[in-house]
Structure 1
Amino acid sequence: MSFCRPNICAISTSRLDKWLFVRPLNAAIILVLISIIEITLIQSSPEVFTNSFLVRLKRDADKHIAHQIAKRNGFINLGAVLGSSNEFHFMHRALPHARSKRSLSHHRILKSDPSIQFATQQIGFRRTKRGYTKLRLGPEDLSLNNEPNDPYFQFQWYLKNVGQNGGKKRLDLNVEAAWAQGITGKNVTTAIMDDGVDYMHLDIRENYNARASYDFSSNDPYPYPRYTDDWFNSHGTRCAGEVAAKRDNGICGVGVAYDSKVAGIRMLDQPYMTDLIEANSMGHEPDLIDIYSASWGPTDDGKTVDGPRNATMRAIVRGVNEGRRGLGNIYVWASGDGGEDDDCNCDGYAASMWTISINSAINDGQNAHYDESCSSTLASTFSNGAKDPHTGVATTDLYGKCTKTHSGTSAAAPEAAGVFALALEANPNLTWRDVQHLSVLTSKRNSLYDSKRRFNWNMNGVGLEFNHLFGYGVLDAGAMVALAKLWKSVPPRFHCEAGSVNKVLPIPTNHSLYLDISTNACTGSDTEVNYNEHVQSVITLNSTRRGDVTLYLISPMGTRSMILSRRPNDDDRHDGFTKWPFMTTHTWGENPRGVWRLEVRFDSESPQMGFIKEWTLMLHGTKEQPYKDLPVSDRNSKLAIVKKAHEDRNKH
């Protein structure tokens, strides 16, 4: 297949009890979860309607029949939604890309067709890149180095930190330890869901997977970026180089998994995002793509509460249950660049239990000034240098150039994707959950610290160290690859509704409100959970100022998670939170039985009023003990600590 683009190269339910299920997910569960996410999406902004329509046919049809139905109604068919045989993406070229009112006439045309069951016009919404910078460097900045011969390797302190640019020695991803084991990412493909990938770049071309690539912004197989004077669409190309830039070719730097493949999914470059574009992007070629890397999300303005819509949720759920021939796709998400005034638990993509949320640190161990904090972050990688703000991540750039200034959690997510690609080569049988467990067990505290001393390192009930900014620490490629080679897949995952509080209770002005749920974690049922993975608090509340509400969840083993921090820019007084699933990873491995406590309070300089209307506690984890069959070589390793905690508990 040619790499060239032709113009470039010549549910609605009031209860959550259906959430009690065993993997894989069934249809009822998907509908409940989707309805919860949809209900919570922000509605305060004026709606924008696009020229795209989701059309469901009364009978199954192939693409030719769908084309005919679209054509006779004045539309064009852009293809099936998530491989469906009766749901299609129609577009009308005469309609503008964005308008303030729904087109009733076009709805009538479609609904009057005897072959169409229903049709709905797609709402447009904003999705922003994380860490975009205009700074760039050209070929004149290249300098030679002997290890390896890629000239920018000396600037890739996140791969090998020897103290360059004011960094702290050995504070890096420890990739050389993985490479020394003969693991370089072979036979693994990472898709960069972004504004396109310059697959003609000499440092990317050899590792480009054309079969797994697509352009959903232009609807063709060539996800080449649209060039602009301000280099705005360099984002995806930079991310791609971090994962899979070729080694020892004398060009730019080296990818974390330099023998892996990278695919381009162009989906960010249009006036407004739609549910169908996102869904088709996240569900594209799930058996050819192993890892999906996303360095974007809802606007990082500290006041937006938003997440995936209906079709997108279906795509993600299908990916983790059916992708990679049933092992599950890995979705890596940048946690967000809203800084201390935002909370990534208000981002439904980063806070999803089906994605791996990655934050960033700078080269001396501090958090970056743009880092958001939240209890759903699993681990961290790297972005900027400390002493020199122009020292970011060295990678590929547009026009065949190289850059040293890629930054933000945008830069952090693809680094994590590269580490996961190394783990998948080491053990191709890893499931999507195995990758999360490996991240928890092998990430290191190293020298990471909160520069403002707001968040300390804490230990949960089984001895795992975590931080509200950095999750379980910085990814360690060498340790992850070594453990992946020995790994036994974790037991089946269960989901238990632990209990609910459904009273309307006022939030006190000057002190905290405490709510308790006592649970046996579904003991004796088909959904018994004895060892935690993710824990969700599904909450409905309203207040005179949403941004002043803070929420804490305390586990039966005493682990305290801040599941919502103060957001000073969030002035909402109407929408509040409706069945919003706040998630924490901080109680990983704990015994969930006992009393869980929710603390609700205002952090405000002026008196506020509010009510909490509902709290439902969801436990996600295993009935059987994980890790018990894994050998332990280091008594001080996280694996050894957790295994001992589990064994001591079982003795008692």
Structure 2
Amino acid sequence: MQDQTGSGVKVAVIDSGLEIAHEDLKANVLSGRSYDFINSDNDPTSWSRDGDHGTSVAGLIAATGFNDLGGRGVAPDASLMGLNWLQSQSFLHWQQSLGGTRTDDARVINLSYGLDVSGPMTFFDSWNNAAESHLAQVQASNNSGKGIVLMKSAGNSFEEVGTSMTINGRNIYAIGNYHYVHRWSGHIAGTEPESSSIYYTVISALNAYGSRSSYSSTGASVWVSAPGGEYGTSSPAMITTDQSGCSSGYAKSSESGFDGGSEENESCNYTSSFNGTSSAAPVASGVAALIIAANPDLHWRDVRHILAATAVKIDKSFLPVSFSDNGQSFYAEPGWITNNAGYHFHNWYGFGMVDATAAVTMATDAGYESLGPLQSTGFVSATTVSPVTIPESADGVTRTVAISDNYSVEGVQVRFSASHSRDADISVEITSPAGTRSLVLPPRSLLVLDQDDYQDADFADTVLLSNAFYGESSQGNWTITVRDTNSGDFNFFGYDANTDQTVLITTSNPASGTLGSVSLRIYGH
């Protein structure tokens, strides 16, 4: 990789903590730059004895290389700072952590956390409105206008989503996808508002065989995929730094094998059982640090562009996932598409698997031209605005949005409102003027909060992002199609908090839904 090790690139880990004195991290931890929001000091070393998520994340990014200790991070000479925002979660501390006063000179920020979503969320609550405003300023101003690469985990809820609901009088603490064996994703990454923001780079996880990790959330907002491992039993997890010593951490004397203080890990300072999109995001963060070290003049969107342009198309034999309802066929996952600009895209993998060597090579190419300033159409309303019933048919309801601006597309957001007694029936697809189709809301997801005994859960100014149109022209008529895909029952599993038993939940389909407002916003250059 042209001798790139990430030297000179500052990476912030926003997480549960970071053991700044760890033997394989301390050489790369910036003195006085980490922060503990609970104790108001510069040492976010975790007090937990059951493993520190942030310490393990940091090791994948920048565990020191060539020191005869442990392993090495993807960018083994990058500079680290850790902030334990997950222990605080105040908005002020979030601002300080994401390009604010404590991380204003970071070039990469790793966000290995997320939110399980079981019902539609608005993009425009007070938190997200303030967050979008803050990030717009950060990306335009920080690092002399080069901004910050914000690496975000897609989520770990393909098969099961944590929640809190009351269904048929039962207290439910999690829900499971009845159809996961059919490869229907329970959690769509973009239903979490952060993951449908243009300012984040969303990462899904791969196993050792180069396909989706079993748990990895997916969706059209995924940018690229990176190794995240499995559970370390039948398929490997990730090896990384752990809390020091055999009395605390994921690896300790009560465990077995490598994590139990075996000959290869006598001091239990490392773990072989880390996984999740929490692992995939820091791998991608390390690659971003290599790219920036190779060419410090790149801005955050250049780094994303290089990741997309050099990503490797994987799982090439993937077969689209479809199902039938009342004699009609629907897609739950279309698989690989090639858009009109020549980019391959897949809701599971984004543009593909990160390729550090190819990315660094592209970053150092003398002929590389930086992207122009980020532009936005703003939200443009559909030509038809009156509410309409959503029929249970493959045709669905279509809305047309006419875009006059001619940008090279970087991201497309659809904003819509709809009501239905069973949100999991609904699918939303965007078609570009060039004919590229992107399924931004696959049907049969676990958006089942509307089945709660005590609350409704409609789509109300929900925003979903698609990266599938990257490089196409924004100009022309865009089509948004909303379908009701299920005329029969819908089944999913609930986990009863009182009995800790799995119960099958069957929901009926009492009425058709209604589509309200639809608009589209396109970012590009």
TM-score by length of 2: 0.78
Q: What is the rounded CA distance, in whole Å, between the counterparts of 1:402 and 1:532 in structure 2?
A: 43
Cα distance 1:511–1:390, how it changes in 2: closer, same or farther (>3 A)?
Answer: closer
Of 64, 69, 84, which residue of structure 2 is paired with 1:266? 84
What's the CA shift for 1:579? Answer: 1.7
Q: 2:216 maps to which residue?
A: 371
Q: 2:359 maps to which residue?
A: 480
> Could you say which structure has the higher helix fraction?
1
What's the CA shift for 1:496? Answer: 1.2
Q: What is the rounded CA distance, in whole Å, between the counterparts of 1:306 and 1:225 in structure 2?
A: 33
Q: What is the rounded CA distance, in whole Å, between the counterparts of 1:558 and 1:545 in structure 2?
A: 29
Residue 495 (str. 1) matches residue 376 (str. 2):
yes
Of 284, 293, 298, which residue of structure 1 is paired with 2:110? 293
Q: Cα deviation per residue 1:604-641 (whole Å; 9 max; x = unaligned)?
A: 3343422111111112112xxxxxxxxxxxxxxxxxxx
What's the CA shift for 1:603? Answer: 2.8
Of 422, 425, 428, which residue of structure 2 is paired with 1:551? 428
What's the CA shift for 1:310? Answer: 4.2
Q: 2:397 maps to which residue?
A: 514
Cα distance 1:386–1:196, how it changes in 2: closer, same or farther (>3 A)?
Answer: closer
Q: 1:568 maps to which residue?
A: 446
Assess if the C-alpha contact under 8 Å between 2:155 and 2:189 holds in 1. yes
Assess if the C-alpha contact under 8 Å between 1:303 and 1:342 holds in 2. no
Unaligned runs of 5+ in 1: 1-177, 523-527, 623-652
Q: Which amino acid aligns with 1:405?
A: S
Q: Which amino acid aligns with 2:385?
A: N
Q: What is the rounded CA distance, in whole Å, between the counterparts of 1:516 and 1:449 in structure 2?
A: 33
Q: What is the rounded CA distance, in whole Å, between the counterparts of 1:217 and 1:448 in structure 2?
A: 47
Q: Which amino acid aligns with 2:111?
A: A
Cα distance 1:435–1:540, how it changes in 2: closer, same or farther (>3 A)?
Answer: same
1:82-481 equivalences in 2 (<5 Å): 178=1, 181-228=2-49, 230-231=50-51, 234-270=52-88, 273-282=89-98, 283-298=100-115, 300=116, 302-303=118-119, 305=121, 309-339=128-158, 340-385=185-230, 388-389=233-234, 391-399=236-244, 401-447=269-315, 450=318, 454-481=333-360
Q: What is the rounded CA distance, in whole Å, between the counterparts of 2:319 and 2:407 in structure 1?
A: 36
Name the larger-Rg structure: 1
Q: What is the rounded CA distance, in whole Å, between the counterparts of 2:6 and 2:412 in structure 1?
A: 32
Q: 1:598 maps to which residue?
A: 480
Cα distance 1:306–1:347, how it changes in 2: closer, same or farther (>3 A)?
Answer: farther
What's the CA shift for 1:451? Answer: 8.4
Assess if the C-alpha contact under 8 Å between 1:244 and 1:262 holds in 2. yes
Assess if the C-alpha contact under 8 Å between 1:276 and 1:311 holds in 2. no
What's the CA shift for 1:359? Answer: 0.4
TM-score by length of 1: 0.63
Q: What is the rounded CA distance, in whole Å, between the counterparts of 1:252 and 1:182 in structure 2?
A: 21
Q: 2:418 maps to which residue?
A: 541
- State the secondary structure of the residue aligned to 2:361: helix
- State the secondary structure of the residue aligned to 1:551: strand
What's the CA shift for 1:511? Answer: 4.4
Q: Which amino acid aligns with 1:594?
A: G
Q: What is the rounded CA distance, in whole Å, between the counterparts of 1:347 and 1:381 in structure 2?
A: 20
What's the CA shift for 1:303? Answer: 3.7
Q: Which amino acid aligns with 1:250?
A: D
Assess if the C-alpha contact under 8 Å between 2:121 and 2:460 holds in 1. no
Q: What is the rounded CA distance, in whole Å, between the counterparts of 1:611 and 1:557 in structure 2?
A: 28
Unaligned runs of 5+ in 2: 159-184, 246-268, 322-332, 490-508
- State the secondary structure of the residue aligned to 2:27: helix
What's the CA shift for 1:267? Answer: 1.1
What's the CA shift for 1:330? Answer: 1.1
Q: Which amino acid aligns with 2:277?
A: T
Higher relative contact order (CA 8 A, sep 6+): 2
Q: What is the rounded CA distance, in whole Å, between the counterparts of 1:447 and 1:207 in structure 2?
A: 35
Assess if the C-alpha contact under 8 Å between 1:356 and 1:378 holds in 2. yes
Q: Cα deviation per residue 1:4-28 (whole Å; 9 max; x = unaligned)?
A: xxxxxxxxxxxxxxxxxxxxxxxxx
What's the CA shift for 1:289? Answer: 1.1
Q: How many residues align?
A: 431
> Could you say which structure has the higher strand fraction?
2
Cα distance 1:263–1:558, how it changes in 2: closer, same or farther (>3 A)?
Answer: same
Q: What is the rounded CA distance, in whole Å, between the counterparts of 2:31 and 2:225 in structure 1?
A: 30
What's the CA shift for 1:382? Answer: 0.9
Of 517, 521, 525, which residue of structure 2 is paired with 1:614? 517
